[in-house]
Amino acid sequence: MNKLFVFLALLFFAQFADAYPVKSAPAPPLKFTRMLNAPAGTKTDWASLRGKVVVLEFWTTWCGPCIASIRHWNELAAQLDPAKFQFITVNQGQSADKISEFIQRKPMTGWAGLDRDFRVSELYGVGPIPVTMIIDQKGRFVAATTPEDLKAEDLNGVYEGKEVQFASAPETKSAAQGKAETNSAGEVKARGDQRPVFELSLTPAKPGTKPFTGVANDTFERRAVSVMDLIANAYQVDKARIDWRGRDDQRLYNLRVTMEGLERLWSFAIYQQDVALALRLKVHKEQETRKLLVLRTNENARELLKETELDGNTGKLCGYYRDRFVIQNLGMEDAALELEKLFGVPVLNESGRSEKFDVSVAAREGDLAGLKESLEKEAGLVLTEEEKPVEMLVVEDEESGTGK
Shared domain check, 126 and 26: yes
Shared domain check, 387 and 307: yes
- How many domains, the chain? 3
Shared domain check, 243 and 113: no
Return the pLDDT at 80.
95
**Is 10 part of any domain?**
no
Shared domain check, 240 and 135: no
Return the pLDDT at 226.
95
Shared domain check, 268 and 219: yes
Residue 251 lies in domain: 196-279
Return the pLDDT at 194.
65
Q: Considering 261, 279, 297, which residue would you say is the last residue of a domain? A: 279
**Is 402 part of any domain?**
no
**Is 175 part of any domain?**
no
pLDDT, one tens digit per residue, over 316-347 is: 888 888 788 999 899 999 999 999 999 999 99
Shared domain check, 117 and 226: no
**Is 1 part of any domain?**
no
Shared domain check, 51 and 99: yes
Return the pLDDT at 212.
86
Return the pLDDT at 56.
97
Shared domain check, 313 and 259: no
Return the pLDDT at 403.
42
**Is 178 part of any domain?**
no
Question: Beta 131-135 vs 53-59: how paired, if at all?
Answer: antiparallel
**Is 165 part of any domain?**
no
Q: Considering 138, 159, 180, which residue would you say is the last residue of a domain? A: 159
Return the pLDDT at 24.
92
Q: How far apart are CA 155 and CA 252, in angstroms?
A: 41
**Is 332 part of any domain?**
yes
Return the pLDDT at 109.
93
Shared domain check, 39 and 149: yes
Low-confidence stretches of the chain (pLDDT beneath 50): 1-17, 173-185, 188-189, 402-404
**Is 274 part of any domain?**
yes
**CA 122 from centroid of its chain's CA atoms:** 19
Q: Considering 225, 259, 279, which residue would you say is the last residue of a domain? A: 279
Shared domain check, 306 and 224: no
Task: Report the CATH number that the domain containing residue 126 is assigned in CATH.
Answer: 3.40.30.10
Shared domain check, 94 and 140: yes
Shared domain check, 145 and 21: yes
